[in-house]
């Protein structure tokens, strides 16, 4: 029962986002139109490998990300993949500059060279031999050696990266190991260990050419797996048979030059659904149309980059308009959704308000509060309130984001204890009654007993 704090982090991944000042350890990879389909019409996955907690209390997630439209390759997972800091580099740019680069995401170009200093509008890069240091006036900095990141600092956190044989082997803070990475002798196996929680993942690679490999399988500590069977036999088309951790299966085909999906088949819970995508229509950008092969009804997605407005209509049903606003209550972001039903039925409008850490704090429906959430960073807890401000529940978490306690308005409460052998002990109380339940790593009940 490894229950992690996912609020606003489910759709983020641990990398560097080059903002006006400093950088964020977690940033959104891309907009999403439909499940596993980006707003650009690409197929993508975001596999959460694990997480660790830094000295400020922030939980940082480590992910592997695949995008069918990505033209670069991960040094670790192969074509179309991106593995966090291991794939961030500084490379020569043009005749007299350098570029601080993430694969197909952010690229900061710096020029000059006088005294070994290269500059962009917000970054300075100092080059001395094989060592390079990029920094900002606000104190954020990264150091590189032979193109690879050796340390990154922002917001009071500094992470150090170690390498063996040119490959990332560890992440640490203040000499305390957070992540250790081991490689098999054949180079086809990668073991990622998370030191704080003893969690791990095993990653298997598959050779596809004489000198190229690609991620084939991810096995998690609890026995779940994610599997990838790529098909590159047709130079014009890319293909993938994908099984996620929940056992759902997808077969996807996309155009190799653009990454735009042509067809998709989804098997879930014994049912199969096929979608055919209108590639010619969506090639103009920011719009996607697909037809359900069973019902013959279309799903449509539009995105307006100028306003940030997204429009979604599923199988001819109600039209959903949603957007992200630059600022809202408590200095955070506000996301709005308007559902247009038609036929004389009034529209519904929803507004979601996030704090400056990207955490949801309030939801409105037609100007009325649906619920609100309060975060206590010192106690590492979340309290949930209903429409009228009434208490509903409160949860507290440990440094690894696991639930320690859960209190409910009906008087029931639960206490969680995580044992060294991977099992979880839950003490449940309901007034004078109490019981103890022991779960294994797969959430199977091993024993249950009443407590007087």
Task: Give the H/E segment covering residue 280.
Answer: helix 279-282
pLDDT at residue 215, as a whole number: 96
Of 14-18, 85-89, 189-193, 196-200, the least confident? 14-18
- Give the pLDDT confidence score for residue 169 in this predicted structure: 94
Q: Is the pLDDT of residue 273 over 80?
A: yes
Statement: residue 193 has pLDDT above 50: yes
For 79-96, the pLDDT digits (tens) are: 999 887 778 778 888 777
Q: Are 385 and 373 in contact (CB under 8 A)?
A: yes
Does residue 252 surpass a pLDDT of 90? yes
pLDDT(432) > 60? yes
**Residues 147, 91: contact at Cβ < 8 Å?**
yes
Q: In the predicted model, what is the mean pLDDT of the chain?
A: 84
Instruction: For residues 427 and 439, give the distance between their C-alpha atoms in angstroms, rounded to a whole number.
Output: 11
Residue 6 confidence (pLDDT): 25
Given a contact cutoff of 8 angstroms between Cβ atoms, the answer to whether 8 and 58 are in contact is no
Residue 436's pLDDT is: 92
Secondary structure class of 116 (helix, strand, coil): helix
pLDDT per residue as tens digits for the range 390-418: 999 999 998 777 899 999 999 999 999 98
Do residues 18 and 32 make contact, with C-beta atoms less than 8 angstroms apart?
A: no
148-159, pLDDT tens digit by residue?
889 988 878 899
Question: Are residues 289 and 275 in contact, defined by beta-carbon separation less than 8 angstroms?
Answer: no
pLDDT the model gives residue 103:
57
Residue 363 predicted with pLDDT over 70: yes
Question: How far, CA to CA in Å, does 273 sit from each of 124, 230, 246, 313, 339?
Answer: 51, 20, 17, 18, 25
Q: Give the model's pLDDT for residue 305.
A: 77
Mean pLDDT of all residues in 348-370: 90
Angstrom distance (rounded) from CA 44 to CA 51: 21
Least confident of 25-39, 163-177, 393-407: 25-39
What b-and-e string marks burial along 108-119, b requiring 16 or more CB atoms within 10 Å of the CB?
bebeeeeeeebe
DSSP 3-state assignment of 329?
helix
Nearest to 75 by CA among 173, 215, 177, 178: 215
Q: Is the per-residue pLDDT at 9 higher than 50? A: no
Any idea how long the chain is? 452
pLDDT tens, 301-341? 988 877 778 899 998 899 999 886 544 444 457 888 899 99
**Of 228-242, 348-362, 438-452, which range is least confident?**
438-452
Q: Is the pLDDT of residue 28 over 50?
A: no
Closest CA to 378 of 157, 56, 4: 56
pLDDT of residue 22 exceeding 60, the answer is no
pLDDT, tens digit, 9 for 90 and up, residues 43-61: 999 888 988 888 887 778 8
Beta strands in 22-123 (DSSP E): 23-28, 32-34, 37-38, 44-53, 59-67, 73-74, 78-79, 81-82, 89-93, 97-101, 107-112, 117-119
Q: List all residues 6 or more positions away from 55 whose beta carbon is below 8 Å from its beta carbon.
A: 156, 157, 173, 174
- Give Cα separations from 171 to 65, 389, 395 (angstroms): 19, 43, 30
Reply yes or no on whether the pLDDT at 384 is more than 70: yes
Residue 438: partners with Cβ closer than 8 Å, 6 or more residues away: 423, 424, 425, 426, 445, 446, 447, 448
| For the chain, percent of residues with pLDDT exceeding 70 | 89
How much is the pLDDT for 304?
83
pLDDT level of residue 122 (50, 70, 90 thresholds) = confident
Kindly indicate the confidence band of residue 8, based on its pLDDT and cuts at 50, 70 and 90.
very low
Q: Which DSSP state fits 279?
A: H
Residue 23 pLDDT level (bands cut at 50, 70, 90): low
At residue 171, the pLDDT reads 94
Range 236-240 average pLDDT:
94
Q: Give the span between the Cα atoms of 280 and 365, in whole angstroms.
A: 37
Flag whether pLDDT at 66 surpasses 50.
yes
Q: What are all long-range contacts of 285-289, with beta carbons under 8 Å and residues at least 24 apart?
A: 285/40, 286/39, 286/40, 288/33, 288/34, 288/37, 288/39, 288/41
The pLDDT score that the predictor gives to residue 176 is 96
Q: Could you tell me which residue, 137 or 236, shows the higher pLDDT?
A: 236
């Amino acid at each position: 029962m490894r229950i992690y704090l996912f609020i606003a982090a489910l759709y983020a991944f641990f990398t560097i986002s080059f903002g006006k000042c400093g950088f964020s350890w977690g940033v959104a990879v891309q907009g999403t139109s439909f499940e596993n389909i980006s707003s650009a019409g690409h197929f993508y996955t975001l596999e959460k490998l694990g997480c660790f907690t830094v000295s400020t209390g922030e939980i940082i997630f480590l992910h592997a990300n695949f995008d069918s439209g990505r033209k670069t390759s991960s040094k670790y997972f192969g074509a179309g993949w991106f593995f966090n800091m291991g794939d961030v580099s500084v490379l020569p740019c043009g005749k007299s500059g350098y570029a601080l680069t993430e694969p197909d995401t952010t690229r900061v170009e710096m020029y000059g060279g006088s005294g070994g200093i290269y500059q962009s509008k917000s970054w300075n890069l100092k080059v001395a031999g094989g060592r390079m240091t990029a920094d900002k006036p606000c104190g954020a900095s990264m150091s590189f050696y032979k193109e690879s990141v050796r340390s990154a600092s922002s917001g009071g956190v500094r992470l150090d990266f170690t390498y063996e044989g040119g490959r990332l082997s560890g992440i640490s803070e203040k000499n305390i190991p957070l992540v250790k990475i081991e490689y098999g002798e054949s180079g086809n196996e990668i073991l990622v260990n998370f030191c704080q929680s003893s969690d791990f993942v095993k990653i298997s690679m598959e050779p596809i050419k004489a000198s190229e490999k690609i991620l084939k399988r991810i096995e998690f500590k609890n026995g779940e797996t994610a599997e990838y069977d790529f098909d590159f036999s047709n130079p014009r088309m890319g293909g993938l048979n994908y099984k996620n951790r929940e056992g759902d299966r997808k077969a996807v085909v996309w155009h190799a030059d653009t990454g735009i999906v042509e067809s998709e088949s989804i098997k879930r819970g014994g049912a199969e659904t096929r979608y055919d995508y209108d590639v010619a229509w969506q090639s103009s950008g920011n719009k996607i149309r697909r037809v359900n092969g069973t019902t013959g009804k279309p799903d449509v997605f539009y995105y307006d980059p100028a306003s940030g407005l997204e429009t979604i209509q599923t199988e001819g049903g109600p039209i959903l308009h949603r957007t992200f606003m630059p600022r809202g209550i408590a200095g955070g972001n506000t996301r709005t959704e308007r559902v247009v039903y038609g036929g004389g039925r009034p529209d519904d409008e929803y507004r979601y308000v996030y704090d400056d850490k990207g955490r949801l704090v309030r939801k409105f429906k037609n100007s009325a509060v649906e619920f609100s959430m309060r975060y206590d960073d010192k106690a590492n807890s979340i309290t949930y309130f209903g429409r009228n401000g009434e208490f509903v529940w409160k949860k507290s978490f440990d440094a690894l984001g696991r639930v320690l306690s859960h209190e409910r308005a009906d008087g029931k409460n639960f206490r969680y204890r995580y044992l060294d052998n991977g099992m979880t002990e839950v003490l449940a109380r309901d007034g004078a009654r109490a019981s103890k339940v022991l779960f294994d790593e797969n959430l199977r009940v091993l024993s249950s007993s009443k407590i007087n």
